[in-house]
Amino acid sequence: MLLYGKPITNRILAETKDIVSRITIRPCLGVVLVGDNPASRIYVNIKRRLAEEVGIDVRLRELRSDASDDDVISVVNAFNADAEVHGILVQMPLPEGHDTERIIASIDPGKDVDGFHPEIIAQFLAGDRDLIPVFPWSIIALAKSAGVPLAGKRGVVIANSDIFGDVVRRALADEGVSTEVILSADVNGSMETISSADVVVTATGQPERFPRYIFKRNAIVIDGGITEFPGGVFGDVAKAGDDAGIFLTPVPGGVGPVTVACLLRRTAMLAM
User: pLDDT band at 243, cuts 50/70/90?
Assistant: low
User: pLDDT band at 225, cuts 50/70/90?
Assistant: very high
Task: Please indicate, yes or no, whether residues 248 and 141 belong to a single structural domain of this protein.
Answer: yes
Task: Please indicate, yes or no, whether residues 102 and 148 belong to a single structural domain of this protein.
Answer: no
In angstroms, the CA 219 to CA 216 distance is: 5
Domain that holds residue 66: 25-109
Task: Please indicate, yes or no, whether residues 145 and 240 belong to a single structural domain of this protein.
Answer: yes
Cβ atoms 201, 157 nearer than 8 A: yes
CATH number of the domain to which 90 belongs: 3.40.50.10860
Q: What is the pLDDT of residues 184-197, one digit of tens each?
A: 999 999 999 999 99
pLDDT for 241 beyond 80: no
Considering only residues 251 and 242, tell me which one the structure prediction assigns the higher pLDDT.
Answer: 251
Its pTM surpasses 0.85: yes
Length of the chain in terms of residues written = 272
In angstroms, the CA 181 to CA 174 distance is: 15
Packing angle between helix 255-270 and helix 134-144, nearest 10 degrees?
120
> Is 119 within a domain?
no
Task: Please indicate, yes or no, whether residues 144 and 96 belong to a single structural domain of this protein.
Answer: no
Q: What is the pLDDT of residues 129-148, one digit of tens each?
A: 999 999 999 999 999 999 99
Domain count, the chain: 2
What does the pLDDT average to over 22-28?
96
Alpha-carbon torsion, ordered 187, 190, 191, 197, to 10 deg: -110
CATH number of the domain to which 213 belongs: 3.40.50.720
> Is 272 within a domain?
no
Q: What is the pLDDT of residues 159-187, one digit of tens each?
A: 999 999 999 999 999 999 999 999 999 99
Task: Please indicate, yes or no, whether residues 93 and 146 belong to a single structural domain of this protein.
Answer: no
Task: Please indicate, yes or no, whether residues 142 and 55 belong to a single structural domain of this protein.
Answer: no
Share of the chain above pLDDT 70, in %: 99
Q: Which are the catalytic amino acids?
A: 47, 91, 114
Which of residues 76, 93, 109 is at a domain's end?
A: 109
pLDDT at 89: 98
Task: Please indicate, yes or no, whether residues 249 and 141 belong to a single structural domain of this protein.
Answer: yes
Task: Please indicate, yes or no, whether residues 101 and 213 belong to a single structural domain of this protein.
Answer: no
User: pLDDT band at 232, cuts 50/70/90?
Assistant: confident
What does the pLDDT average to over 223-248?
87
Task: Please indicate, yes or no, whether residues 151 and 251 belong to a single structural domain of this protein.
Answer: yes
- Point out which residues pair with 60 in neighbouring strands: 31
Average pLDDT, the chain: 96
